[in-house]
Amino acid sequence: MKKPRKKVLSVMGIIIILGIIYVAFLQYKISEYNQEKVPNNAEYLIVLGARVKGTIPSLAFASRIDAAAEYLKKNEKAIVIASGGKGPGEDISEAETVKRELVSHGIDKSRIFLEDQSTNTNENIQFSKKLLPSDAKLGLVVTNTFHIYRAVSLARDQGLDVEGLPAKTPAKAILKSYIREYLAITKYYLVKYIF
């Protein structure tokens, strides 16, 4: 009886060690993408949607919008795609939320284009791509630190020449956001490389 139990414990130990190594790898990739230099000559930004409470952006979403506004003020030729549909508990689309907040930051409406049909990150990129000028080259994907790696990877998979513009992740959202992102990246790997 002791040998089978010892074998089970050994297998469990190996699985746990492999799990720790895998999570460490994911964290390394996320960190690597957050440390890349943000180019100052991007022609467009894609601000990825996130949760809206009524008409108020969540803290994580507000952080994305603030980062985009700061960049747009310094780069007056850049346009911005506000991306994100309307989900449960949202009175307006995530895209409209971005537009309203950017305008309140002093960004001219003529620079803001709405993509208000998407329901996930892949659709954010896919639908936003259709709104880009045909001659657009370098772009930035604007999202929180935990999300940059996957978002930029998805955009590059769709043929866009982009870098990431990381926005801070609120402290109280860090644990939940990173755990969810580890699972989302795993799904991304499975779809891209296996299925």
Helical H segments across 35-81, by residue range: 59-74
CA distance 164 to 38: 7
The CATH number that applies at residue 91 is 3.40.50.620
Number of folded domains in the chain? 1
Q: Is residue 13 part of a domain?
A: no
Q: Is residue 60 part of a domain?
A: yes
The pLDDT value recorded for residue 7 is: 87
Q: Containing domain of residue 139, as a range?
A: 32-193
End-to-end CA distance of the chain: 40
Q: Is residue 122 part of a domain?
A: yes
Chunked in runs of 10, what are the mean pLDDT values of the chain (195 residues)?
Answer: 78 95 97 94 97 96 98 96 95 98 97 97 97 95 98 97 96 94 97 89
Q: Is residue 175 part of a domain?
A: yes
Q: Is residue 24 part of a domain?
A: no
- Contact of 148 with 34, CB cutoff 8 Å: yes
CA distance 140 to 180: 23
Q: Is residue 2 part of a domain?
A: no
Q: Is residue 165 part of a domain?
A: yes
- Contact of 109 with 117, CB cutoff 8 Å: no
**Is residue 142 helix, strand or coil?**
strand
| φ, ψ at 143 (rounded to 5°) | -160, 180
For helices 121-129 and 148-157, angle between their N-to-C axes, nearest 10 degrees: 40
- Contact of 64 with 143, CB cutoff 8 Å: yes
The pLDDT value recorded for residue 195 is: 80
Give the single-character DSSP code of 138. Answer: E
CA distance 152 to 156: 6
- Contact of 23 with 63, CB cutoff 8 Å: no
Q: Is residue 6 part of a domain?
A: no
